[in-house]
Amino acid sequence: MYLEVKGLKKSFGEKKIVDDLSFSLDKGQLMCILGSSGCGKTTTLNMIGGFLKKDSGSIILDGEEISEKEPEDRPVTTVFQSYALFPHMTVLENVIYGLKFKGIKKEEARERGYEYLEMIGMTEYADVRIQRLSGGQQQRVALARALVLEPKLCLLDEPFSNLDAALRERLRFELKKLQRDLGMTMIFVTHDQEEAMILSDKMAIMEAGLFVQCDTPKAIYDAPATDFVRDFLKLDRMIFKEDGSILKKISE
């Protein structure tokens, strides 16, 4: 397995947030972690990214144990809900910011930056300041900044939650296409059930610090493992393609 998480635990005081969590992910897969507020989704993501220290357990990425490494030393990038862009910099400067810490020369960094701006359809905004962009454009820049580092794993923490429904739907499509084109391995945290069903190669339903079911969206939709999963997934009826992806929704 490309990513293996084994026995991951995290408590704050007496409260267990992540409780002996184990899962695996193949290279090039996108997994969505879905669950209600407080179930441990973001805590899990932050431990994988290195922003939060685990109490116990291991995180093995491409054969390397990374759980004791600092965030900047892990081959992992994170796209935050808040975007975390630098307002005093241009779009291109934001995208290539992390490359200088990788020892990449300025001209090469600019070339790579333009390459990723082209992928997200924003080359004409290269010299524009961040504050002049819309929310959707800022989210694209945040994604390009994460991907330009060519990480082994990209983490996304509810990146579309601040956007309107039409823009979220468009960005989902763009993200999935980009992920498939690059063969990028991603973990995407969301509370949006439809979003998880559409994006996932693998979907994990989380409750009280554990995955109560982890499978393809179609398998979970067809056969919920517990009453919690069945009650939680209050979705429109869906028709799936043979490969398990969603063809269309049918509203009741």
Instruction: Name residue 210's beta-bridge partners.
Output: 207
For the segment 46-98, what is each residue's pLDDT rounded down to a tens digit? 999 999 999 999 999 999 999 999 999 999 999 988 878 999 899 999 999 99
Of 17, 58, 36, 61, whose CA–CA distance to 210 is shortest?
A: 17
Q: Please tell me which of 41-50, 132-141, 241-250 the model is most confident about, judged by mean pLDDT.
A: 41-50
**Where is 60: in which H helix or E strand?**
strand 56-61
The stretches of 68-147 forming alpha helices (DSSP H) are 91-96, 106-119, 135-147
User: Is the model's pLDDT at 169 over the cut of 90?
Assistant: no
User: Is the model's pLDDT at 248 over the cut of 60?
Assistant: no
Q: What's the whole-number mean pLDDT along residues 173-179?
A: 89
Location of structure tokens 């010299």: 127
Does the global pTM surpass 0.95? no
Domains and CATH numbers, the chain: 3-75+152-250 (3.40.50.300), 82-150 (no CATH)
Of 223, 186, 224, whose CA–CA distance to 207 is shortest?
A: 224
User: Is the model's pLDDT at 5 over the cut of 50?
Assistant: yes
**Where is 194: in which H helix or E strand?**
helix 193-199
Q: Please state, for a pLDDT cut of 70, what percent of the chain lies above it.
A: 93
